[in-house]
Amino acid sequence: MVAGELPELPHVPELPARGVGADMIGRTAGLLVDLAIEVITSGYRVTPRAGRDHRRAIDLLRGDLDAFDEALERAGARPETVKVQAAGPWTLMSNIELMRGHRVLTDRGAVKEFSESLAEGLRQHAAEVARRTGAKVVVQLDEPGLPAVLEGLLPTPSKLGTVPAVPAPDARGVLATVIDALGDHEVVVHCCAPQPPLTLLREAGAAAIAFDATLVRGAAALDEIGETWEAGTTLVLGLVPSTDPGAPVTVKDVGQRAFTLADRLGFPRSILAEKALPTPTCGLAGATAGWVKRALALTRDLSSAFSEPPEGW
């Protein structure tokens, strides 16, 4: 489906319903260099040496890359650009525990070690995909947990308190470390939580920022979107429903919001062709196969509409 519906920008799909190691955290942990994880009742924990759980994550990703190669070959596709995605450092470190039970992000030394390990693992992963496909590789960092990290909303192991908020400069610095390590690869940072920190992500070096455009509320959020566009950052607008809404959906139904957004912010509608991309509102892991195909088709058609808006929009 990906190779057929998105021939110009296919991505390596994630299929988390396969279980341990296929979910966003386990899959990304499999990319870590010189760090290993294991599964415990509360999720994932650091372990001194790689065991079955860690090896499963690595094997699943390798199998997915083989399947991706085969799909492109069957479709006769030779894309100039492909996309890979992984959990960003803050979402990753907030969902993995240290041996003593606290989240990785609570230990300054562990934060440095994990961010550097992730950066190197992503660099190697992107290089492998580039080598396999002969394409330019865009790396997407998924940071749905970043707002909770910044606001101090994560519970402690006892559930009686919350982990202290991470200061914005620290959060920005860690993200910048990972983005800088990817060198020539363009990096998209995705945050589908309400009120994503667009300014922080832009200042960390993201070439593009992806968010759920259907959740935009209030003048402050609109101002931040406008400032991000003015700074030259591409906005990846989540517009297509991630699951079947149960009623017919047209390109105009999902796309009108983007044109209205540009109008409200005082930008020419050409900004959508120049500095915007449409996507589903978030991941498609909960969608049926039929809706995945429809959502990808809507996304492709909406991209065309950004370049050549139909009459009456």
Percent residues over pLDDT 70 in the chain = 100
The pLDDT, as a whole number, for residue 232 is: 96
Distance CA 170, CA 92 (A): 16
Location of structure tokens 């057929």: 4
Q: Is the pLDDT of residue 42 over 90?
A: no
| Domain 66-307, architecture per CATH | Alpha-Beta Barrel (3.20)
Q: Is the pLDDT of residue 191 over 90?
A: yes
The pLDDT, as a whole number, for residue 158 is: 86
The pLDDT, as a whole number, for residue 313 is: 85
Q: Which residues contact 64 (CB under 8 A, 6 or more apart)?
A: 12, 13, 15
Strand partners, 190: 142, 210
Q: Which residues contact 186 (CB under 8 A, 6 or more apart)?
A: 138, 139, 207, 208
The pLDDT, as a whole number, for residue 311 is: 85
Residue 122 has which token pair?
Answer: 């992503």
Give the residue-averaged pLDDT of 134-158.
96
Q: Which tens digits make up the pLDDT trace of 78-129?
A: 999 999 999 999 999 999 999 999 999 999 999 999 999 999 999 999 999 9
Q: Is the pLDDT of residue 12 over 90?
A: yes
Q: Which tens digits make up the pLDDT trace of 52-81?
A: 999 999 999 999 999 999 999 999 999 999
Residue 74 has which token pair?
Answer: 């069957």
Three-state DSSP class for residue 83 = strand
Task: Quickly state the pLDDT bin for 24 (edges 50, 70, 90).
Answer: very high
Q: Quote the pTM value.
A: 0.96
Task: Quickly state the pLDDT bin for 310 (edges 50, 70, 90).
Answer: confident
Location of structure tokens 């300014």: 199
The pLDDT, as a whole number, for residue 106 is: 97
Task: Quickly state the pLDDT bin for 164 (edges 50, 70, 90).
Answer: very high
The pLDDT, as a whole number, for residue 62 is: 97
Strand partners, 134: none
Sign of CA dihedral 159, 163, 165, 171: negative
Buried b (16+ CB within 10 A) or exposed e, 50-82: beebbebbeebbeebbeebeebbeeeebebeeb
The pLDDT, as a whole number, for residue 279 is: 97
Average pLDDT over all residues of the chain: 96
Q: Is the pLDDT of residue 274 over 90?
A: yes
Q: Which residues contact 91 (CB under 8 A, 6 or more apart)?
A: 24, 25, 142, 143, 144, 145, 146
Q: How far is CA 68 from CA 18, 45, 78, 280, in A?
A: 17, 29, 12, 20
Give the residue-averaged pLDDT of 37-56.
94
Q: Is the pLDDT of residue 312 over 90?
A: no
The pLDDT, as a whole number, for residue 107 is: 97
